[in-house]
Structure 1
Amino acid sequence: MSPQLLFMQALNGLQYGILLFLLAAGLTLVFGIMSFINLAHGALYMMGAYFAAAAFRHTDSFALAILAGLGGAMALGVALDRCGFSRLYPREHLDQVLATFGLMLFCNEAVRMIWGSAPIFMSLPEALGNTVMVLGTPYPLYRLLIILAGLLVALGLYLLIERTRVGMLIRAGASNRAMVAALGVNIGWLNTFIFALGAGLAGLGGALVGPILSVQPGMGDSILIMTLVVIVIGGIGSIRGAFLGALVVGLVDTLGRTIMPALLRQSLEQELASTLGAAISSLAVYVLMVIVLAVKPEGLFPVKKR
């Protein structure tokens, strides 16, 4: 295996990790701060992708498509919170799981009814379809922009949570909701803001991945499982943990699918090595999660108790 191929796959792993972070950041905010288990988070990711694809089809503007994915998912998040989810926040986790799982199934069937079961493809503008040289290795410009967008989102979330009054209220609400409410803060609207922010990040991830993968019903189900793995590894409620955990998971998953079959081909037949290598690689992330839970049950970067 050439060093150039290995470096390119490392960049692909970084890009996949950034995509996972966009979902994990919103999910860990909602789960860590509001103690709300939202299994419909993958459906918000899927809806963001469909909103972006629909906007791109009607306007032929990629920038408007990204804004439609982000804004549409945020608006849907606000509607879900105010129309039903707010009643589930004080209830047991089992009620939350059942309700959000049902919503996930509903969204999958709704997009089939509206857009059909056939995959929808988004084309990139000509300017974003080029390749650039990264340390002597050609790499798609658009994938590089996804990495940059994820880094900017991570910086923005850090500044929001740690450097603004809204972030102070979010942290205070996570520590003692009753005291914050007694001081005159509308906890209901604060929860709505957090949920809408998480939904917007999921929608942004779906909009960004539209030109790389096909937009189709159920596309959020598989990535939701990987997002939950990221949160467990990084630490529930920790934005830093979600970011670093997503990068670790992205690199392990992508490099494992490249390196493992190559290593097995040295001692096994090519077809058997490819099949066995893919199977082992798909388990590597879950083995990593088990190891982390055995060593640090709270995750690699748990939230500091305030």
Structure 2
Amino acid sequence: MLLAEQALNGLQYGMMLFLMAAGLTLVFGVMGLINLAHGSLYMTGAFACAAVAAATGSFWLGLVASLAAAAAAGALVEIAVIRRLYARDHLDQVLATFALILVFSEGTRWLFGSFPLYLKLPAALSGAVVLPGGLHYPLFRLVIIGFGAAVAVGLWWLITRTRLGIRIRAGEADREMIGALGVDIARLYTIVFALGAALAGLAGALVGTIQSVQVGMGEPVLILAFVVVVIGGIGSIKGALVGALLVGMTDTLGKALLPGLLSRVWDASSANTIGASLASVLIYVLMAVVLILRPQGLFGARG
């Protein structure tokens, strides 16, 4: 029962990472842009959801607001700042997007203060359900898993079955050629960046129901999102999904099982501390192994 519960927790955590990493891998793959401010868009979605839900009493309106606010912020950032960085060196992109982190953090602190906000789940999503085998599991965590699966299917359909998806894939392969064929590259990049921002905002809103919404909440998850992108392969939605699930399972099962195994050697307190640390290290060991065996990532295109 413990193993089944932790596997579901790992699946839920992986789906959250996928929502974050999917937008990041789109932007990275299509635009070749290293966007450190992606975590700030995640935070923007969480604060928008918390503020609108508190003002209206509706979590669903807050969820819509998280998508709209993050997408609008992403489009504005792309037009005002990012557009000037495409032809610049990656170091310039890192410095500029790091500056955006500071702008977003201080702007959010000015608007909402330094105290954390809390999102309350609607009654329909509260409580637990009984799964086969008698396992009681929180309903909302299952909803998050369903959200992640639905987004994965939606992105697959968008990328492989729509005209916009054809342009996104073509822009990833040869942006000069599609520009010569009459595609508005600037508009395409704004749409892709806004889509990636909206996915990050959705992830932030969903995570805000599990933990507090606070300034700086996007930076820790941004590191894991980059790990997911590297493992899955830059520009690959399928890779982002598989990489996110691998990272989620590795982290969750490691933190659940390693302390128990280490308690046979050390005392309980030391086993818990060392086990949690080793579980975090395992994520980067996984990334290192993937890079050794497949430098382009699991589903990345060869250079």
Taking structure 2 as the reference length, the TM-score comes to: 0.98
The corresponding residue for 1:215 is 213
> Is 2:280 the partner of 1:282?
yes
Distance in 1 separating the partners of 2:283 and 2:153: 26
Counterpart for residue 46 of structure 1: 43
Task: Quote the residue 1:151 is aligned against.
Answer: 149
Residues 2-50 of structure 1: CA deviation (Å, up to 9, x unaligned): xx11111110110000000001100000001110110000000001000
Matched with 1:229 is: 227
Residue 159 of structure 1: CA displacement? 0.4
2:299 matches 1:301? yes
Q: Which runs of 4+ in 1 moved over 2 A?
A: none
Q: Which residue of 1 aligns with 2:246?
A: 248
Task: Report the Cα offset of residue 276 of structure 1.
Answer: 1.2
Structure 2: distance between partners of 1:301 and 1:179: 24
Task: Please say which of residues 132-141 and 142-151 is displaced more in the overlay.
Answer: 132-141
Among 150, 166, 169, the alignment partner of 1:168 is 166
The match for 2:70 among 73, 82, 90 is 73
State the SS of the aligned residue for 1:242: helix
1:61-101 per-position Cα deviation (integer Å, ceiling 9, x unaligned): 01100000011100111111111211111211111100000
Say whether 1:133 aligns with 2:130: yes
CA RMSD of aligned residues (A): 1.0
- TM-superposition CA deviations, 1:179-238 (whole Å, max 9, x none): 111111101000000000000000000011111010001000000000001111111111
| AA of the residue aligned to 2:277 | A
Counterpart in 2 of 1:14? 11
| Per-residue deviation, 1:267 | 2.2
1:25 to 13, 22, 27: 22
Aligned residue for 1:36, secondary structure, equals coil
Note the 1:33-112 alignment, pairs <5 A: 33-112=30-109
| Local SS of the residue matching 1:39 | coil
Shift of residue 304, structure 1, vs aligned partner: 6.6
Cα distance, 1:134 vs structure 2? 2.0
Displacement of 1:293 in angstroms is: 1.1
2:92 and 2:200 map into 1 onto residues whose CA distance is: 23
Q: Distance in 2 between matches of 1:269 and 1:28?
A: 42
Shift of 1:111: 1.3
The equivalent residue for 1:203 is 201
Match of 2:113 in 1: 116
CA contact 2:43–2:201 (8 Å) conserved in 1: yes
Which of 257, 281, 303 in structure 2 is aligned with 1:259?
257
Deviations 1:113-170 (A, max 9, x none): 1111111111111111111122231111111001001100000000000011111111
- 2:43–2:217 Cα contact (<8 Å) kept: yes
In structure 2, the partner of 1:238 is 236
CA distance in 2, matches of 1:129, 1:187: 44
Gaps of 5+ in 2: none
Q: Distance in 1 between matches of 2:229 and 2:172?
A: 17
**So what's the TM-score if we normalise by structure 1?**
0.97
Partners of 1:6 and 1:259 in 2: how far apart? Answer: 9
Show CA shifts across 1:231-256 (max 9, x none): 11111111100000000000000000
Distance 1:133 1:73 in 2: 35
Aligned length: 302
The one-letter code of the counterpart of 2:15 is I
Q: Which of 261, 268, 271 is equivalent to 2:269? A: 271
Give identity over the alignment, percent.
Answer: 55
CA distance in 1, matches of 2:106, 2:39: 14
Unaligned runs of 5+ in 1: none
